[in-house]
Chain A
């Protein structure tokens, strides 16, 4: 018996057969994968998960890939959950944890969603994988397509960071650089799905792709000893993963995998240079997310027209979370703070997450004993260029290769 039995519109509830499509024909709402929950309840257990592979595929029962399918994997997931005592001490948090998803095979959380998407697409006969990307997704898609031996087309804005372009190109995909921003790329790809037989990870096979995000929250709960934290801080781009994390928490409770039945507070982080969800959250009409033109160094989350923005605001409010935003300077400062206190080098998007964590902590959001988890979703080498500018490293000295010069220039 298949465990995924169809697709359902999140807005109007219309149901569809299992297929590569993402939009409801009735109301244009997003489609989500529907599982045979009664059958899964008989199967899913902590023991079964703990005996599974040491990757995110230990949660395979809760992912939309049938048991008979050979998955396309590079060992993604099961990344470290680090107790951050030194950062916590600076912020007055005694139970702060960092889920370091920059430890994935292509150094961002996108490996989770792409492993699911490409496994699904290959099993359903697709020969070409594609995506619209701000960089990290294209990186993952190119790598996993190479691993699977599938044809690959990735579409990115023409002016992405050089490190990201290099780490995409090395896998030799068809790389289409579009003269426009991510929202322009996304619109083009939304129109291209009608004239190509390709699986666009984040468009026509988005209902399956998105499900991979859940594993981040599954792992967090397992690594906390099968407990959900009090609050989770998540960077917001389209809001796609944010929505899946609340779903993951619900599934952990529904299937009896965690103690208690309290869903964590879900808090979103944006850069002020691209903050359409934050703007709406703090307006009188949080259900109307108005698009913006992005202007931020946090390129990997620079989506001006976020498709799931409305859901982010609803979930944040319903769970007691907030949506907060930080300046460009705060982003870089947070990257340095995280590196200096915990030895973790994150990209600008991680700087947004840690920046928001710091901002909320300093504003007195927490008493100090709450279990707070921040999702660090990408590696710092992807955006190292932002650290080479004026905001340099004060403790650096240049000396002659002599003892005399060392003694003169370095104070011990």
Chain B
């Protein structure tokens, strides 16, 4: 099982959970699985073209997915997927 870390602003969607375990082989699959457990996540994270929304950063084991394989990145057992709002810093 891979594990999502849910940021504060989205925890209401996940019934207050800080982490959610999902069964998936890639990142898109993981988001679909998260959305199946807690509907609403897919729309918050992905735009109408299926791309990652502008103000969302996703880190797969601490690596920004936009710097790596993107949403097609393979996801394995014990991988940690962190959703982090992009608006920060500077």
> A interface vs B, CB < 8 Å?
11, 22-25, 27-30, 132, 182-184, 186-187, 189-191, 193-194, 202-203, 206, 237-241, 287-288, 290-293, 303, 305-308, 310
In the complex the two chains form, what is the Cα distance from A287 to B55 in whole Å? 12
B9 touches A307 (CB 8 A): no
CA distance A29 to B10 in the complex (A): 13
A290 pairs with B66, CB closer than 8 A: yes
Q: Which residues of B contact A (CB under 8 A)?
A: 5, 7-10, 12, 44, 53-57, 59, 62, 64, 66-67, 82, 84-90
- Verify A23–B64 contact, CB threshold 8 A: no
A367 to chain B, nearest CB (A): 33
Q: How far is the CA of A183 from the CA of B62 in the complex (A)?
A: 11
Given A28-B9, A191-B82, is A186 in contact with B89 using a C-beta cutoff of 8 Å? yes
- Flag if B88 contacts A186 (CB, 8 Å): yes
Compute how far the CA of A303 lies from the CA of B86 in the bound complex, rounded to whole angstroms.
13
Whether A187 contacts B84 by the Cβ 8 Å rule is yes
Cβ-defined contact, B64 with A29, below 8 A: no
Q: Which residue of B lies closest to A132 (CB)?
A: B89
CB distance A203 to B54 under 8 Å? Answer: no
User: Could you jot down 27 A-B contacts, CB within 8 Å?
Assistant: A11-B55, A23-B9, A23-B55, A28-B55, A30-B55, A183-B89, A184-B62, A186-B88, A187-B62, A187-B64, A187-B84, A189-B89, A190-B7, A190-B84, A191-B82, A191-B84, A194-B7, A203-B89, A206-B87, A239-B90, A241-B90, A293-B67, A303-B90, A305-B57, A305-B86, A307-B87, A307-B88
State the Cβ distance, A59 to closest chain B Cβ, in Å. Answer: 21
How many angstroms from the CA of A194 to the CA of B7 in the assembled complex? Answer: 8
8 Å CB contact of B90 from A24, A28, A307: A307
List the 8 closest pairs (A to B, CB-CB), nearest first. A238-B90, A240-B90, A28-B55, A186-B89, A23-B85, A30-B87, A25-B9, A203-B88
- With a cutoff of 8 Å between Cβ atoms, the chain A residues found around residue B88 in the complex are 22, 132, 186, 189-190, 202-203, 206, 307
* Also in contact, A202 and B7, with CB within 8 A (given A187-B57, A190-B85): no
Of all chain A residues, the one with the shortest Cβ separation from B85 is: A23
| Given A191-B82, A305-B64, 19 more pairs with CB closer than 8 A | A23-B85, A25-B10, A28-B55, A182-B89, A187-B82, A189-B88, A189-B89, A190-B88, A190-B89, A191-B84, A237-B90, A240-B90, A241-B90, A291-B67, A303-B89, A303-B90, A305-B66, A307-B86, A310-B54
